[in-house]
Amino acid sequence: MLTIERLPKRLRQQQLLQAIEANPFMTDEELMRTFGVSIQTVRLDRLELGIPELRERMKHMAVKTYDPVRSLPMDEIIGEVIDLQLDQSGISIFEIKEDHIFSRTKIARGHHIFSQANSLAVAVIDDPIALTASADIRFVRSVKLGEKCVAKAYVRSVSKGKARVEVFTYVGEETVFRGNFVIFHSKKEQHLDREDKLHADRD
Q: Give the CATH number, domain containing residue 143.
A: 3.10.129.10
Q: Give a yes or no: residue 202 inside a domain.
A: no
Task: Please tell me the predicted confidence (pLDDT) of residue 189.
Answer: 46
Task: Please tell me the predicted confidence (pLDDT) of residue 2.
Answer: 42
Q: Do residues 54 and 91 both lie within one domain?
A: no
Last residue of a domain, one of 45, 60, 75: 60
Q: Do residues 69 and 42 both lie within one domain?
A: no
Q: Do residues 172 and 84 both lie within one domain?
A: yes
> Is the alpha carbon torsion for 44, 48, 49, 53 positive or negative?
positive
Q: Do residues 78 and 176 both lie within one domain?
A: yes
Task: Please tell me the predicted confidence (pLDDT) of residue 62.
Answer: 57
Task: Please tell me the predicted confidence (pLDDT) of residue 88.
Answer: 93
Taking the model in full, what pTM does it have?
A: 0.70
Q: What is the DSSP string of 120-158?
A: HHHHTSSSS-EEEEEEEEEE-S--BTT-EEEEEEEEEEE
Q: Give the CATH number, domain containing residue 22.
A: 1.10.10.10
| Segments of the chain scoring below 50 in pLDDT | 1-5, 65, 188-203
Give residue 44's domain range. 4-60
| C-alpha–C-alpha distance, residues 164 and 87, integer Å | 10
Task: Please tell me the predicted confidence (pLDDT) of residue 53.
Answer: 84
